[in-house]
Amino acid sequence: MCLYWGSIIYIPLGVSSSIYQLQPFVTLIVGYFWIGEKLPKVEIFNMLCAFSGVMLIIYSAKLNSHYESEDGNQDNKEANTLVKYDLHKMLLAAIVNFISAFIGGTMFVVLRKLKKTHFTIVNGHYALVIAFVSSVIWIIFRYNNQDPIKYNFDSYQYILIIIISFTTALGNMAPTLAVRYDKASRISSVNFLMVLVSYLGDVFLFGYQTHPLEVMGAIIIIICSAITMILKYTGYLQ
């Protein structure tokens, strides 16, 4: 995730989100060559349809931001002027973003390989490594003499950080458990629902105005996810 968050500074968010959502397809390819996992053609087609739904939501969000900038006053227009990204940095950020998606997609295959290891052991080691790496990266940027990180959190922000930490720790156990009972590529494809959940959160929690393309994309993701579950639990998918 450090690679992903670092890359979006130099690349449009729509592009970075699109690249990161290639993660299930990375799992599909890596799983095929590493552990010999295969998915039926109908399920691969279903994944492509779900990916198109994700692209609709991302593209619509870009359109909304464009219209909002046009409706604002002159100061807002200047503030919302399209950023001119450096081509070389943008290319490097795209590569870094793909590496992030590749690592995330490969993680599901690794978890599948570790399916016989108890999930608490896997998750425990995973949490320790994450804590160590994140702390090292934080120290490097926090005490950088050239551009040190400056922040001043209030109590509410600290509470949110603690909540995120607990929910993330619990959430990491879910795929670790899931890959014990099903294929890594199928579990990874559920990630498309993350875009849908985030979109619904914006709508119901923050009053985000919906766009027809976003609604269409959300419906496509829901239908594709439902099709996968129906095919799985009716015995068509093994």
Q: Residue 238 domain-assigned?
A: no
**Per-residue pLDDT at 215:** 81
The answer on pLDDT for 69 being more than 60 is: no
**Per-residue pLDDT at 25:** 86
**What's the Cα-to-Cα distance from 44 to each of 56, 224, 225, 228, rounded to whole Å?**
19, 11, 12, 10
What's CA 159's distance to the chain center, in Å?
A: 23
The residue assigned the tokens 């130099």 is 10
30-39, 73-82, 115-124, 163-172: the lowest-pLDDT one = 73-82
Q: Residue 18 domain-assigned?
A: yes
pTM score of the predicted model: 0.71
What rounded mean pLDDT belongs to the chain?
Answer: 77
Last residue of a domain, one of 173, 193, 218: 173
Return the higher-pLDDT residue of 148 and 226. Answer: 226
Structure tokens at 157: 């922000």
Range of the domain at 206: 2-115+179-233
Q: Residue 60 domain-assigned?
A: yes
| 31 shares its domain with 106 | yes
- The residue among 169, 221, 200 whose CA lies nearest residue 47 is 221
| 190 shares its domain with 106 | yes
- DSSP, collapsed to helix, strand or coil, labels residue 154 as coil
Helices (H) and strands (E) in the chain, counts: 11, 0
| 109 shares its domain with 123 | no
* Gap between the Cα atoms of 85 and 9, Å rounded: 10
| 123 shares its domain with 25 | no
Segment 150-165 shows an average pLDDT of 83
Cβ atoms of 196 and 55 closer than 8 Å: no
Last residue of a domain, one of 142, 173, 204: 173
| 63 shares its domain with 15 | yes
User: Buried b vs exposed e over 103-113: b needs ≥16 C-beta within 10 Å?
Assistant: ebbbbbbebbe
- pLDDT, one tens digit per residue, over 115-156 is 888 888 888 888 888 889 888 888 887 777 776 667 777 888
* Gap between the Cα atoms of 94 and 4, Å rounded: 9
- pLDDT, one tens digit per residue, over 178-197 is 888 888 888 888 777 777 77
